Structure 1
C-alpha cells in the first residue's frame, strides 16, 4: 500500500515557512519566489485537507493544526538530512549509529574508551542518548542500546557483557577509616542508596555475615553518579560498581573500607533489534564492544549471542 506521505520538497518548504513565520523569508532561504512557496503550502493543505496557516492580510501565522504538524515532523526532517549528509560524506562506507545508554555507565565506562572506536571506525558517527529504562526499539531512532539485562528486552539480539560488582566507598576526608574495624561499623554512618537497588545494602551486609536485624536507612538517588558524588561530599557510605570509582580511589577522594564485592545485582549487555543485525554500523560496534569487554574483564570471552523473541 502506498504510504500517505507528502513530498519531502513540499515538507521542506512548509518547515521553512513555519520556522520563519513568513512565506517571503522562506522563499529567500530556499531561492524560490514567494508565490512558489504559497502554491506549495496550498498544495500541502489540499493534500491534508486541512489549513495549516491563518492568513490575515499579508501576514501568515501557523494555526493550531500547523503548530502540531510542524512539531511532529521537524525532527524527522532533521534526521533525514543528517543521515543523508552522513551517507554522502562517507560514500556509503560508514554511517550513523544511534545508541541508547545508561547515563553513569556511559560517562564512567564507555566514553573513556570511545576514542579507540573512533580511531578504528572514523566513518561511523556515534550519537549517544540517555535511556535509563528498557524500551521497545520500534518507533524510536535507536539502532542499539548499552544497558542492563532485563526481561523487557524482547525481539532483540543480546550480547552479554559483564556483571555489576558493588563495593562500599567512603570519603577519607570526612570519616576516620581507623574506626572502621568491621563491616558492621558502616551502620554507624549514613548509607547512600541507589533508588532502583533498595536492597543492595541489605544483601551486602548478608555477604559480610550480618544477616539478621540489619536496617539500612539513608538517602536515595536515581543514579550511581549521584551516589558517588554524595559519598565524595561526605554524606555517607555508598555502594557502587567498583569500575565507576577507579579514578576517585586512585586520587584518594574515595576508599573501599572493606573489599567485599556484591555480585550479580545486574548484568550489562548490548542489545539491538533483530532487524538491525545485518546493519554494518551495528556489526562494527558489536565487534568492537566484544573486544573491549574482553580486555576489561581480563581476556575472558564474552558469552555467545542469543536471540530473544517476544
Structure 2
C-alpha cells in the first residue's frame, strides 16, 4: 500500500476559504469555526508543505506566490471532489452517469432541448452538463468527456468528430430590403457583429463568396455565439453564427439569412474523452445519438474533416 503525501481535508478547506476571502475571519464565518482555528489549520498546512502560504501583517493576510498557485489548484480539486461526491450521493446504483463539459451555447440552444429524446432512448442514463467554453485539462478532471470546438489545444487527446456546422450570416428581417434573395452581395453597408475570439471570420466568409467587405473588422464584438444571436435578434446587425444554433429562428422567420452558409468559416464539434474513462459503450451510444439527431447535413465529410485537423481528430 502506497502512503499518499496529502494534507488533511480540513486544512485544505480552511486554506481555500482563507485564500478566497483574503481574511481569516471571513473564512471562519463561512466554515462556522473560530478565527484561531483557521489560523492553526493554515499553520499546520504551511508546516506540512514547508513553505509560507500567506504574508501576515497584523490582522491582514496576503497570499504568497506559492500560496496563490496552490490556492488555484486546491480550489479546482475541491470543486471536482464535491461534484464527484454529489454524483455518488444522488445517482441510483444501477443508473449510468455521463459527466460532460459542454460549450455553453451548444448546450442551451441545441443539446438541452433534445436531451429528453436521449432520455427516452436510454432511461438508464443520467446526463450531467457543465459549461466549459475554452480548452482545459480534461485528464484528471471529474468529466468523462467534453463536447467542444476542434482546436489545436486538444492535440494528442483521444477525440472523435461529431458534427460540422457552417457559419451563416443572419439578422432581423427589417434590416434588409424586401425582395432580395439569399445573396452575400447584400452584406456591404450592413452593420456586422463579431465574435471576439474569431475576428477573421467575416474576412474568410467574404473571401469565399467574393464579397468586398471594406470594413470587415468594424462593428460590435461579443464573447459568445449566444450573445451574437441575441444581438442579431435585437436588430443590432448581422451575426455570423453556426447554422446549427439558429435553425429554429430561421424556421420561424425571427432571423433571416443574408447569404448562404459558408463552409470556409465552419465550426467542427468534437467529443474529447478523458483517458480515465476513454471511449465506453455509453459514450459511444451518446455520440452516435448526437450525430443522428443533428442529421446528415451536419455530419463532417469522412476524409476532408480528418485532413483538416490531422493531429487532434481521430475518426
Q: Do the structures match in fold with TM over 0.5?
A: yes
2:179 aligned with 1:178: yes
Query: 1:65-87, CA deviations, whole angstroms, 9 ceiling, x for partnerless residues?
Result: 8x977776466445434423432
**How far apart are the structure 2 equivalents of 1:13 and 1:62?**
14
8 Å contact kept, 1:166–1:263: yes
- 2:101 equivalent in structure 1: 100
Shift of 1:130: 2.4
In angstroms, what is the RMSD of aligned CA positions?
A: 4.5
Match of residue 288 from structure 1:
286
Alignment-derived partner of residue 263 in structure 1: 263
1:137/1:38 CA distance change after superposition, 3 Å: closer
Structure 1 contact 167–256 (Cα < 8 Å) conserved: yes
In structure 1, C-alpha distance between the alignment counterparts of 2:73 and 2:312, rounded to whole Å: 32
Residue 297 of structure 1 deviates from its aligned partner by 1.7
User: Which residue does 2:28 correspond to in 1?
Assistant: 21
Q: How many residues align?
A: 293
Larger mean Cα displacement after TM superposition, 226-235 or 93-102: 93-102
Q: Indicate how the Cα distance of structure 1 residues 232 and 139 shifts in structure 2: closer, same or farther if over 3 A, else same.
A: same
Mapped contact 2:99–2:143 kept (Cα < 8 A): yes
In 1, distance between residues paired with 2:140 and 2:133?
Answer: 14
In the alignment, what sits opposite 1:159? 160
Match in the other structure for 1:201: 202
Q: Whose Rg is larger?
A: 1
**CA deviation string 1:45-104 (max 9, x = no partner):** 765568999xxxxxx999968x97777646644543442343254465446544222222
- Give distance in 2, aligned partners of 1:72 and 1:181: 51
Shift of 1:147: 1.0
Q: Secondary structure at the match of 1:127?
A: strand
CA separation of 1:95 and 1:74: change in aligned 2, threshold 3 A = farther
1:1-310 matches, cutoff 5 A: 2-8=3-9, 21=28, 25-26=32-33, 47=48, 73=74, 76-77=77-78, 79-90=80-91, 92-94=93-95, 97-119=98-120, 120-121=122-123, 124-132=126-134, 134-138=135-139, 140-178=141-179, 182-208=183-209, 210=210, 213-217=212-216, 218-219=218-219, 220-258=221-259, 260-264=260-264, 265-277=266-278, 283-298=281-296
Whether the 8 Å contact between 2:165 and 2:298 is mirrored in structure 1 is no
Alpha-carbon shift at residue 4 of structure 1 (Å): 1.0
User: Could you tell me how far 1:194 is from its partner in structure 2?
Assistant: 2.5
Mapped to 2, the partners of 1:181 and 1:90 lie a distance apart of: 49
Q: Following TM superposition, by how much is the alpha carbon of 1:192 offset from its aligned partner in structure 2, in angstroms?
A: 2.2
For residue 111 of structure 1, report the CA deviation from its aligned partner.
1.6
Structure 2: gaps (5+ residues): 19-23
Is the 1:157–1:271 Cα contact (8 Å) retained in structure 2? yes
Equivalent residue number for residue 21 of structure 2: none
SS in 2 for 1:187: coil
Cα deviation digits, residues 198-224 of structure 1 (max 9, x gap)? 34333433443x26x542433233222
Q: Counterpart of 1:198 in 2: which secondary structure?
A: coil
Q: Distance in 1 between matches of 2:195 and 2:15?
A: 47
Distance verdict in 2 for CA 1:75–1:239, change over 3 Å:
closer
Query: Which secondary structure state, in structure 2, belongs to the residue aligned with residue 176 of structure 1?
Result: coil
Tell me how far apart the structure 2 counterparts of residues 152 and 39 of structure 1 sit (CA, whole Å): 41
Alignment TM-score, normalising by the size of structure 2: 0.69
